[in-house]
């Protein structure tokens, strides 16, 4: 069968499992990215992990576990750096993001430029290399994915309040800044976990697109989060099989699948709105 054929190969089976995990956690964290307007932050943070990845690549002779830990450290430091700068009243968040993102990305490019044959060796950083997922990589993806979901579940109410009602957060004396920094760290972890699946260049699409589709279907945070996770997982599964049978890169296939699902939801919602408006216009006429 076409569906089961790729699963006969352990490497492809691991890749599919990793893609599903990434789709779920990206969908969940992407919900906060959409409702808080953090798309630019997500894109910047995805690029800001580059120096950590490049450093560990040099130190570990290209081992993927080294890339993971280097990217994780760089991502968390970048998130905390942005959070620290935005505490200053004269520095807006987008300005802080631009400063940290530019500096980290430039540092990463400078470090990579010193590596021989770096273009081919590190191309998967930009575009993903899901077929390179080892058993250790899958284990790390699962563990950190579980950590992200557990923290979101544990502090769900706090994250919801700081995202939708900052005034209530101050009234309840919630440590809003601490929870905001925690959310940024979770986002950094999600981006690093997703590195091998879609790469730096397409990471923001996997964060934003499923959540944007879910936002069209529900305005309540929990249903939106669940729908986004389902769309993210579905995009990963469908994109994986499209990649296998069409012989194209897996990361772009997953992102394009998510985009098509978003467009389907968008058109369906627009058609539903148009139908409701038409019924409302016809209702007084039928009463006459």
pLDDT category of residue 122 using cuts at 50, 70 and 90: low
pLDDT category of residue 266 using cuts at 50, 70 and 90: very high
Nearest to residue 44, comparing CAs of 88, 95, 2? Answer: 95
pLDDT in tens, 174-213: 888 888 889 888 988 888 888 777 777 678 888 999 999 9
pLDDT value at 231 more than 70 = yes
Mean pLDDT of the chain: 83
129 vs 77, higher pLDDT: 77
Entry field: residues in the chain: 288
So what's the pLDDT on residue 65?
A: 60
The radius of gyration of the chain from alpha carbons, rounded to an integer in Å, stands at 21
How far apart are alpha carbons 38 and 46 in whole angstroms?
Answer: 12
The torsion of the CA quartet 139, 143, 145, 149, rounded to 10 degrees, works out to 150
pLDDT in tens, 9-46: 777 888 889 889 999 999 999 999 998 888 888 888 88
How far apart are alpha carbons 12 and 9 in whole angstroms?
Answer: 5
pLDDT category of residue 154 using cuts at 50, 70 and 90: very high
Q: Which range has highest mean pLDDT (100-104, 126-130, 143-147)?
A: 143-147
So what's the pLDDT on residue 227?
A: 96
- pTM score, whole prediction: 0.85
The CA-CA-CA angle for residues 127, 241, 229, to 5°, reads 75
Q: Which domains does the chain have, with CATH numbers?
A: 5-287 (1.10.3470.10)
How far apart are alpha carbons 100 and 106 in whole angstroms?
Answer: 10
């Amino acid at each position: 069968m076409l569906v089961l054929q790729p699963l006969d190969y352990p490497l492809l089976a691991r890749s599919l499992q990793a893609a599903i995990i990434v789709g779920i956690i990206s969908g969940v964290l992407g919900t906060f990215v959409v409702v808080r307007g953090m798309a630019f932050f997500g894109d910047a943070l995805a690029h800001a992990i580059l120096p950590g990845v490049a450093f560990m690549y040099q130190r570990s002779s290209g081992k993927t576990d080294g890339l993971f830990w280097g990217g994780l450290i760089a991502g968390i430091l970048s998130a905390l750096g942005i959070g620290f700068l935005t505490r200053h009243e004269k520095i807006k968040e987008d300005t802080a993001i631009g400063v940290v993102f530019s500096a980290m990305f430039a540092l990463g490019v400078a470090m990579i430029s010193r590596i021989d044959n770096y273009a081919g060796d590190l191309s998967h950083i930009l575009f993903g290399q899901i077929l390179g997922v080892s058993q250790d990589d899958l284990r790390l993806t699962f563990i950190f994915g579980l950590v992200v979901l557990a923290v979101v579940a544990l502090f769900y109410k706090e994250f919801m309040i700081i995202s939708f009602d900052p005034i209530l957060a101050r009234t309840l004396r919630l440590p809003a800044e601490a929870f905001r920094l925690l959310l940024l760290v979770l986002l950094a972890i999600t981006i690093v976990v997703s590195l091998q699946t879609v790469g730096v260049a397409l990471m923001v699409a996997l964060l934003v697109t499923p959540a944007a589709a879910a936002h069209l279907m529900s305005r309540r945070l929990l249903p939106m989060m669940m729908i986004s996770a389902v769309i993210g997982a579905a995009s990963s599964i469908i994109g994986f099989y499209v990649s296998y049978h069409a012989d194209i890169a897996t990361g772009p296939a997953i992102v394009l699948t998510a985009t098509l699902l978003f467009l389907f939801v968008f058109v369906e919602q627009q058609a539903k709105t148009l139908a409701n408006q038409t019924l409302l216009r016809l209702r007084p006429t039928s009463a006459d």
